[in-house]
């Protein structure tokens, strides 16, 4: 693991674009940064034209002056590779490198990420500018980190780029996965609609729903791999020259294989812009990014106020929102929180986006909250740096299933990320801090594992590892809509589920949609259960049934909807519908209680983050709903931010409060 050199953590930072400003403005910006408590700035990610104003003519002098001035003031730099914004001279010379849709329309230049990551000429130019930048600043002690490009993900236009390079990559991907076109036709059942292909080169970009979800899945896999390869290429170049950690700032999107990306990186970087009404959902992404590498992540972008392009993204947040939003990144396992952006653009793009300073250099209304966070980070540094988030509960979330659900929702209104986040929020509100893990993550540290909406579980050796983990004593909550498709999202033809039916000795007999009024269900104690969106009706032994269908179509009545099984030394809880409210709470309590997993009793919207390490044990509390809450403390604790001592027992948590509590 590469450490973060030279800079004390946790720290505040901001994105800074000195290329937007006359150099005479830089001293004033730096003075305000020091006043705000900013310790680090991200620069360079969109500045290719200024670094290389003409082909092969480099100008890094201006960048050296900025980096040196910042360093002299005690402010460090995360340097971005500028590959998101190729200059106009490149587009004139290589128009074929621009992203091109199925109708031959090229992406508008002047945005960003407008070149295709499969284009050979674009890749060659990227290698050249990244190499020159890395050689120039690779040993500069002011540079404490590197950011590859900016927010690499598919996006609608990117997914539909059908330039020659994209199509070649797509066909090569199919050839690598299936070997022969005959096997491709067989696996994807191309008998439907007479789609049988004679060669891979005949396979077109799927743009219609009727192309079928499997072909859409293959297309997305190829496009995703293009971006992963692009990241890997730049990471390999940078690591030849630089000492500081290398990362790439990622967005809260499910259709990128974050585990695969992280294998090429030294540090995970993450951007988010959650609103006051859904700030609790940001915890899901922090809980996920925390698991990707064995080192603290960097929250490289969030807002002091709101996001905004040509208009402000949401109304004025309540006082304290900036502070709790900033702290959330560090509480959940990060070592920095960085704002986008330092100084609002004076012309061009995103003129209404939140910032630390206005275009005229005046502090925004939440400037005091920024300063307070900087002071509090210093006060809590020893505890934050000397502990890690402690949890023995995990929740599955995978890019494979995100891509499958994008084109095959199974039932109406399914949104993979939103539905998994719904369960995560229920765990959070019950004082349970889960790790959100991908398919390849180890299961060893956990007592409880939730696997909802895992449409396919044919992801590496996951079935074998789950069987072994449960047999060793784990409690597995699986479903709904889990293990019902193979590795490409197609039905099984000799069974309904991949391995769960065999593992538990049950049968998934019917899967039906429901709005909750066309069938009724109840728990075994007679309490009504509300089935949402679908009902997976199982045939099980009566002693395994926790809930069953009690009314509706006669073929469904009596079928099991929720069941519990012993397996080795462990337990499996099979859930056949989307639950909420008291129904979901019942499953959570059953699983956590059976496993004896760690949790704090909490109410309201308090994010509870147990932490432990060489600096002791304790808990960080962040109230994110702007409402009163409570937490039951299991021991006396002292708040490192205020010095106040809290006894064991129920503790009130005020709206938007933050407490860093160490066990006494």
Secondary structure (H, E, C), 137-200: HCCCCCEEEEECCCCCCCHHHHHCCCCHHHHHHHHHHHHHHHCCHHHHHHHCCCCHHHCCCCCH
For the record, the structure tokens of 98 come out as 């621009």
What's the chain's length in residues? 664
C-alpha span between 342 and 52 (Å, rounded): 24
At 487 the three-state DSSP class reads coil
Same domain, 513 and 581: yes
| CATH number of the domain within which 415 lies | 3.40.50.880
Same domain, 579 and 637: no
CA neighbor of 136 nearest in space, from 81, 74, 218, 208:
81
Same domain, 572 and 639: no
CA neighbor of 8 nearest in space, from 144, 137, 188:
144
Q: What is the pLDDT of residue 211?
A: 85
Considering the domain boundaries, does residue 228 fall inside one?
A: no
Q: Which tens digits make up the pLDDT trace of 359-405?
A: 999 999 999 999 999 999 999 999 999 999 999 999 999 999 999 99
Same domain, 491 and 635: no
Same domain, 104 and 129: yes
Residue numbers in the chain where pLDDT is lower than 50? 1, 3, 157
Same domain, 431 and 508: yes
CA neighbor of 264 nearest in space, from 292, 305, 285:
292
How does strand 528-529 pair with strand 616-623? unpaired
C-alpha span between 227 and 8 (Å, rounded): 32
| CATH number of the domain within which 652 lies | 2.60.40.1180
Q: Which of 384, 408, 423 is the last residue of a domain?
A: 384
Considering the domain boundaries, does residue 118 fall inside one?
A: yes
Sign of CA dihedral 399, 404, 405, 411: negative
C-alpha span between 618 and 636 (Å, rounded): 10
| CATH number of the domain within which 59 lies | 3.20.20.80
Task: Give me the half-sphere count of Cα atoms (radius 13 Å) on the Cβ side of residue 593.
Answer: 8
Q: What is the pLDDT of residue 157?
A: 47
Contact, 184 vs 214, CB < 8 A?
A: no
Same domain, 520 and 642: no
Considering the domain boundaries, does residue 190 fall inside one?
A: no
Q: Which of 359, 384, 409 is the last residue of a domain?
A: 384
Q: What is the pLDDT of residue 154?
A: 59
* Residue for token pair 């209404």: 352
* Residue for token pair 């147990």: 610
Q: What is the pLDDT of residue 110?
A: 75
Q: What is the pLDDT of residue 1?
A: 44
Same domain, 63 and 114: yes
C-alpha span between 323 and 162 (Å, rounded): 44
Q: What is the pLDDT of residue 104?
A: 85
At 91 the three-state DSSP class reads helix
Same domain, 34 and 145: yes
C-alpha span between 584 and 272 (Å, rounded): 27
Same domain, 655 and 581: no
C-alpha span between 34 and 17 (Å, rounded): 17
Same domain, 448 and 336: no
- What's the total number of domains in the chain? 3
492 is in which domain, residue-wise? 393-595
Buried b (16+ CB within 10 A) or exposed e, 447-458: bbbbbbbbbbbb
C-alpha span between 337 and 258 (Å, rounded): 20
* Residue for token pair 């540290």: 445
Q: Which of 595, 610, 642 is the last residue of a domain?
A: 595
Same domain, 607 and 588: no
Considering the domain boundaries, does residue 213 fall inside one?
A: no
Considering the domain boundaries, does residue 372 fall inside one?
A: yes
Considering the domain boundaries, does residue 201 fall inside one?
A: no
Considering the domain boundaries, does residue 439 fall inside one?
A: yes
At 36 the three-state DSSP class reads helix
Considering the domain boundaries, does residue 209 fall inside one?
A: no
């Amino acid at each position: 693991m590469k450490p973060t050199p030279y800079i004390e953590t946790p720290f505040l930072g901001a994105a800074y674009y000195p290329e937007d400003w006359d150099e005479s403005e830089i001293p004033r910006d730096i003075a305000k940064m020091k006043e705000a408590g900013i310790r680090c700035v991200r620069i360079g990610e969109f500045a290719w034209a200024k670094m290389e104003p003409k082909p092969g003519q480099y100008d890094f002098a201006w960048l050296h002056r900025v980096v040196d001035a910042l360093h002299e003031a005690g402010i460090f730099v995360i340097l971005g590779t500028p590959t998101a914004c190729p200059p106009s001279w490149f587009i004139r010379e290589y128009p074929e490198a621009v992203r091109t849709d199925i109708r031959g329309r090229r992406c508008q230049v002047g945005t960003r990420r407008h070149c295709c990551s499969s284009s050979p000429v674009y890749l060659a130019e990227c290698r050249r500018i990244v190499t020159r930048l890395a050689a120039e600043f690779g040993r500069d002690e002011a540079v404490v980190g590197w950011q590859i490009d900016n927010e690499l993900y598919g996006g609608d236009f990117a997914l539909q780029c059908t330039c020659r390079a994209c199509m070649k990559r797509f066909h090569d991907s199919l050839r690598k996965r299936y070997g022969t076109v005959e096997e491709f036709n067989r696996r994807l059942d191309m008998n439907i609609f007479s789609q049988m292909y004679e060669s891979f080169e005949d396979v077109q970009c799927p743009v219609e729903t009727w192309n079928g979800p499997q072909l859409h899945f293959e297309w997305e896999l190829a496009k995703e791999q293009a971006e992963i390869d692009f990241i890997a290429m730049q990471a390999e170049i940078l690591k030849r020259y630089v000492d500081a950690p290398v990362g790439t700032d990622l967005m809260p999107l499910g259709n990128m294989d974050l585990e695969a990306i992280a294998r090429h990186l030294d540090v995970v970087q993450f951007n988010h812009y959650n609103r006051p009404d859904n700030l609790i959902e940001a915890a899901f992404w922090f809980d996920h990014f925390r698991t990707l590498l064995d080192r603290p992540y960097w929250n490289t972008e969030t807002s002091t106020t709101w996001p905004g392009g040509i208009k402000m993204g949401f109304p004025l947040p309540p006082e304290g929102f900036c502070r709790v939003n900033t702290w959330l990144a560090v509480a959940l396992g990060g070592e920095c929180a960085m704002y986008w952006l330092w100084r609002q653009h004076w012309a061009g793009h995103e003129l209404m986006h939140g910032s630390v300073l206005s275009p005229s250099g005046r502090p925004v209304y939440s400037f005091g909250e920024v300063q307070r966070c900087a002071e509090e980070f210093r006060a809590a540094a020893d505890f934050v740096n000397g502990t890690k988030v402690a949890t023995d509960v995990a929740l599955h979330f995978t890019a494979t299933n995100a891509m499958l659900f994008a084109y095959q929702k199974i039932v109406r209104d399914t949104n993979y990320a939103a539905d998994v986040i719904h369960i995560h929020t229920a765990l959070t509100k019950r004082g349970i801090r889960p790790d959100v893990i991908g398919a390849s993550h180890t299961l060893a540290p956990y007592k409880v594992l939730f696997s909802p909406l895992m449409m396919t579980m044919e992801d590496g050796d996951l079935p074998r590892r789950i069987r072994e983990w449960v047999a060793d004593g784990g409690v597995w909550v699986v479903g709904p809509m889990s293990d019902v498709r193979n590795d490409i999202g197609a039905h099984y033809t000799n069974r309904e589920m991949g391995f769960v039916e065999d593992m538990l000795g049950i049968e998934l007999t019917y899967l039906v949609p429901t709005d909750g009024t066309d069938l009724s269900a109840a728990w075994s104690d007679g309490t009504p259960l509300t089935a949402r969106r679908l009902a997976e009706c199982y045939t099980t032994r009566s002693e395994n049934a926790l809930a069953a269908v009690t009314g509706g179509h006669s073929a469904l009545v009596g079928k099991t909807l929720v069941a519990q099984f012993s397996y080795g030394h462990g337990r499996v809880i099979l859930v056949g519908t989307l639950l909420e409210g008291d129904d979901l709470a019942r499953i959570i309590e059953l699983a956590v209680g059976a496993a004896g997993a760690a949790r704090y009793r909490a109410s309201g919207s308090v994010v509870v983050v147990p932490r432990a390490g060489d600096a002791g044990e304790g808990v960080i509390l962040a109230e994110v709903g702007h409402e009163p809450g409570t937490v039951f403390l299991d021991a006396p604790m002292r708040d490192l931010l205020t010095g106040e001592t809290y006894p064991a027992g129920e503790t009130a948590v005020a709206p938007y409060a933050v407490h860093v509590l160490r066990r006494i």
